[in-house]
């Protein structure tokens, strides 16, 4: 019996030490991959790809950068407000407060309408610096993007479910 217990302890310690010999986690300084499939959060790289695809001149690239900077603050403000609304909606749903959920949904719809106007203005301003050929290619990119997005959001005009 003593030998069986010793063998068991020896085997267990070998298994544990083998697990420790092979690191399981990536080092802390290693870049983390974006786990969200289909979502690219690198706006600079997207802008660079768009510039290359549209064959923008250096002057157009500078104008596009100025347009992005012009609208950056309002976009950041919208993201902050949406995060706050999201948290408030979550709390209201957990509290089963339907009146508050409805009020917050109306607030979100108004915020999204304003954001859409801002995004449309930015897109139209960017489009205005393009040549007719570039505009046609840009419009095609927009249509392709709507097609991909359509799988996730079939109709953006529908009221979100509470």
**Could you give the domains of the chain?**
54-151 (1.20.120)
What backbone phi and psi angles, to 5 degrees, belong to 26? Answer: -70, 155
Range in 36-45, 80-89, 118-127 with the lowest mean pLDDT:
36-45
Q: Of residues 149 and 74, which shows the higher confidence score?
A: 74
The helices-and-strands tally (H runs, E runs) of the chain is 5, 0
Query: 83 is written with which tokens?
Result: 């995060």
What is the C-alpha to C-alpha distance for residues 161 and 99, in angstroms, rounded to an integer? 14
Mean pLDDT over 47-63 rounds to: 86
> 150 falls in which pLDDT band (50, 70, 90)?
low
Q: Does position 93 have pLDDT exceeding 90, yes or no?
A: yes
CB atoms within 10 A of CB 18: 9
pLDDT per residue over 25-43, tens digit each? Answer: 555 555 554 444 444 455 5
- From CA 91, how far away is CA 96, in angstroms rounded? 9
Report the percent of the chain where pLDDT is more than 70. Answer: 63
122: closest CA among 73, 49, 59?
Answer: 73
Instruction: Return the pLDDT at 48.
Output: 80
Using alpha carbons only, give the angle 130, 131, 134 rounded to the nearest 5 degrees.
Answer: 75
Q: Which tokens belong to 149?
A: 């997005």
């Amino acid at each position: 019996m003593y030998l069986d217990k010793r063998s068991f302890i020896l085997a267990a310690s070998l298994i544990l030490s083998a697990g420790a010999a092979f690191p399981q986690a990536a080092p802390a300084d290693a870049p983390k991959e974006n786990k969200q499939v289909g979502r690219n959060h690198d706006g600079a790289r997207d802008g660079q790809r768009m510039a290359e695809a549209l064959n923008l001149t250096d002057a157009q690239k500078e104008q596009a950068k100025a347009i992005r900077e012009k609208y950056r603050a309002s976009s950041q403000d919208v993201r902050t407000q949406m995060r706050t609304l999201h948290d408030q909606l979550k709390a209201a749903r957990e509290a089963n407060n339907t009146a508050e959920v409805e009020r917050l949904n109306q607030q979100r719809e108004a915020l999204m309408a304003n954001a859409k106007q801002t995004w449309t203005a930015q897109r139209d301003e960017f489009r205005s610096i393009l040549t007719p050929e570039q505009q046609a290619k840009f419009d095609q990119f927009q249509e392709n993007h709507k097609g991909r997005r359509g799988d996730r959001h079939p109709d953006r005009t529908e009221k979100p479910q509470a």
